[in-house]
């Protein structure tokens, strides 16, 4: 399915279930997401992780709400299942979507300006380098007997200087490779947006609306 | 007023990834804190205590880049990074990220993107706390807490955001001013 459309669908449903309190729809969404993840061969380890983590947080939140608050049991069930829906829907989305395809699709199908699309991509590809850099900064400080914590301004100071440096270099590199902001572009890879995608998206939304406003518990 | 250029876009994204990476280092801290507080029904407090680190990318980007929308973009991108690299909360991460960004953006917008000092940062912390708390009232059912506990959660959240998004951001900005990376904060 087209990444932009998929993202829009996931976001709309997530917003809707946040504002409504129908646990049956939550459970139905859970089942659908679970089947989709199985169908797309999501690894068992990942699936377990996606189940155990929300299980802990949902249980802790519900426990806390019932100790410190005055929520009805219906509302507690809604909150509990809602958390799983967020995680499972997110799981279906991230496990079936490549960041690269999403950015391409956002540029081509959602008309995101190309400077944003390529700017993001340039930075995302630095991810491994960024991880190493954080470790390097900490190690370099340790050698001078300084421990950099999450609350140390020096850590962020150094990180910001590196970020400025790299973004300068990357921007010049892109310019020297012929990237011109706002210039019309052709695409080596086109992301298709077939008609059936719109049907799937529309039908899913109709189904969710029916479920939410039919009067189900 | 400045507009967005490819260099700024790359900078915000790199900054967002850096913040995400730093946050992941504290991941175990959150889990331990949450687990320790959970039996007493205080698990949300762990969230409130550490939320400040989470929302720091917003004020930091807003304070350094000074283009309207930079706080929102910085925080939102942080959420995108989290979603794709190890985060499990998926769609709700994006929504919270956007809301946190808008929350801190409001502080800068209310002062017309002209004043970069304590007042703006304090205002931005307040707007972030209000917007995100409103969202948690809807999404996580905070609205059904007893009033006293709700107030406690809000105050802890505000303090955490003010410490990381206000005090720490100002200290970092001071360092950047001393290094002549940022214009001196005369106003």
Looking at residues B118-141, what average pLDDT do you find? 92
Which DSSP category does A152 fall into? -
| Probe site for chain A from B92, B135, B148 (most A CB atoms < 10 A) | B92
- Three-state secondary structure call for residue A39: helix
pLDDT classification of A17: cutoffs 50, 70, 90: very high
First to last CA, chain A: 31
In this prediction, residue A167 carries a pLDDT of 94
Average pLDDT, chain B: 88
pLDDT exceeds 50 at position A101 = yes
pLDDT classification of B3: cutoffs 50, 70, 90: confident
A112 at B interface, C-beta within 8 A:
no
Q: Which residue of B has its CA nearest to A132?
A: B21
Average pLDDT, chain A: 91
Whether the CB-CB separation of B149 and B137 falls below 8 Å is answered with no
Q: What's the CA dihedral at A74, A79, A84, A90 to 10 degrees?
A: 140
Write out pLDDT tens, residues A154-199. Answer: 999 999 999 999 999 999 999 999 999 888 888 888 999 999 999 9
The residues in A 115-174 lying below 8 A from B, measured between CB atoms, are 115-116, 118-120, 122-124, 126-127, 130-131, 133-134, 150-151, 153-157, 159-164, 166-168, 170-171, 174
In this prediction, residue B186 carries a pLDDT of 47
Write out pLDDT tens, residues A33-59. Answer: 999 999 998 889 989 988 988 898 889
Write out pLDDT tens, residues B157-177. Answer: 999 999 999 999 999 999 999
Among A160, A139, A165, CA closest to B56: A160
Whether the CB-CB separation of B41 and A68 falls below 8 Å is answered with yes
pLDDT classification of B86: cutoffs 50, 70, 90: low
d(CA A135, CA A144): 15
Among B152, B142, B149, B163, CA closest to B56: B163
Which DSSP category does B90 fall into? T
Q: How far is CA B165 from the centre of its chain?
A: 6
Counts of helices then strands in chain B (DSSP H, E):
9, 0
d(CA A159, CA B19): 9
Write out pLDDT tens, residues A107-138. Answer: 999 999 999 999 999 998 898 999 899 999 99
In this prediction, residue A136 carries a pLDDT of 94
In this prediction, residue A216 carries a pLDDT of 81
d(CA B94, CA A6): 14
In this prediction, residue B32 carries a pLDDT of 84
**How many C-beta atoms surround the C-beta of residue A59 within 10 A?**
14
Among B130, B123, B21, CA closest to B62: B123
Side-chain half-sphere exposure of B108, counting CA atoms within 13 A? 24
In degrees and rounded to multiples of 5, residue B80 shows phi and psi of: -60, -45
In this prediction, residue B187 carries a pLDDT of 43
pLDDT classification of B46: cutoffs 50, 70, 90: confident
Check A181 against B13: CB less than 8 A apart: no
Whether the CB-CB separation of A79 and B141 falls below 8 Å is answered with yes
In this prediction, residue B15 carries a pLDDT of 92
- Three-state secondary structure call for residue B145: strand
Among B72, B103, B79, B51, CA closest to A14: B79
In this prediction, residue A81 carries a pLDDT of 93
Distance between B78 CA and the closest CA of chain A, angstroms:
11
In this prediction, residue A171 carries a pLDDT of 94
Choose between A172 and B42: higher pLDDT.
Answer: A172
Instruction: State both tokens at A137.
Output: 């900064």
d(CA B94, CA B87): 11
**How many C-beta atoms surround the C-beta of residue A20 within 10 A?**
15
Task: Give the C-alpha distances (Å, rounded to integers) separating A187 from A52, A177, B5, B61.
Answer: 42, 16, 21, 31
pLDDT exceeds 60 at position B1 = no
Looking at residues A198-209, what average pLDDT do you find? 94
Which contiguous run of DSSP H or E holds residue B66? Answer: none
Chain B residues touching A50 at Cβ < 8 A:
88
B6 at A interface, C-beta within 8 A:
yes
**How many C-beta atoms surround the C-beta of residue A40 within 10 A?**
11
pLDDT exceeds 60 at position B81 = yes
* Predicted-complex ipTM score: 0.88
Domain ranges of chain B: 6-178
pLDDT exceeds 80 at position B88 = no
Q: What's the CA dihedral at A137, A139, A140, A142 to 10 degrees?
A: 120
Looking at residues A89-99, what average pLDDT do you find? 90
Looking at residues B50-77, what average pLDDT do you find? 90
């Amino acid at each position: 399915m087209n990444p932009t459309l998929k993202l829009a669908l996931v976001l709309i449903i997530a917003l809707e279930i946040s504002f409504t309190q129908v646990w049956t729809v939550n459970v139905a969404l859970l089942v659908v997401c679970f089947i989709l993840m199985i169908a797309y061969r999501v690894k068992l380890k990942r699936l377990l992780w996606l189940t155990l983590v929300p299980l802990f947080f949902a249980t802790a939140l519900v426990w806390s709400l019932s100790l410190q608050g005055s929520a009805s049991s219906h509302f507690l069930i809604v909150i509990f299942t809602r958390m799983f829906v967020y995680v499972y829907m997110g799981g279906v989305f991230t496990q079936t979507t490549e960041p690269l395809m999403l950015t391409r699709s956002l540029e081509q199908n959602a008309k995101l300006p190309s400077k944003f699309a390529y700017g993001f991509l340039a930075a995302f590809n630095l991810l491994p380098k960024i991880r190493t850099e954080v470790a390097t900064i900490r190690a370099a400080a340790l050698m001078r007997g300084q421990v950099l914590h999450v609350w140390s301004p020096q850590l962020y100071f150094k990180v910001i200087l590196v970020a400025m440096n790299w973004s300068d270099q990357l921007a010049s590199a892109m310019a020297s490779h012929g990237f011109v902001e706002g210039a019309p572009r052709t695409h080596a890879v086109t992301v298709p947006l077939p008609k059936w995608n719109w049907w799937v998206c529309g039908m899913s939304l109709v189904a969710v609306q029916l479920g939410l406003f039919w009067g189900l518990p | 007023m400045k507009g967005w250029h490819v260099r700024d876009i790359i900078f915000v994204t790199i900054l967002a990834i850096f913040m995400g990476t730093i946050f992941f280092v504290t991941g175990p801290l959150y889990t331990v804190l949450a687990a320790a507080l959970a039996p007493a029904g205080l698990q949300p407090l762990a969230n409130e205590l550490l939320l400040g680190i989470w929302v720091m990318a917003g004020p930091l980007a807003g304070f350094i880049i000074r283009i309207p929308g930079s706080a929102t973009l910085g925080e939102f991108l942080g959420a995108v990074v989290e979603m794709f690299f190890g985060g499990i909360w998926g769609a709700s991460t994006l929504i919270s990220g956007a809301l946190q960004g808008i929350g801190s953006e409001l502080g800068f917008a209310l002062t017309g993107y002209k004043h970069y000092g304590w007042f703006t940062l304090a205002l931005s912390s307040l707007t972030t706390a209000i917007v995100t708390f409103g969202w948690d009232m809807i999404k996580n059912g905070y609205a059904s807490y007893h009033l006293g506990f709700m107030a406690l959660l809000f105050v802890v959240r505000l303090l955490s955001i003010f410490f990381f998004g206000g005090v720490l951001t100002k200290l970092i900005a001071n360092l950047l001013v001393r290094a002549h990376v940022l214009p001196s904060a005369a106003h």
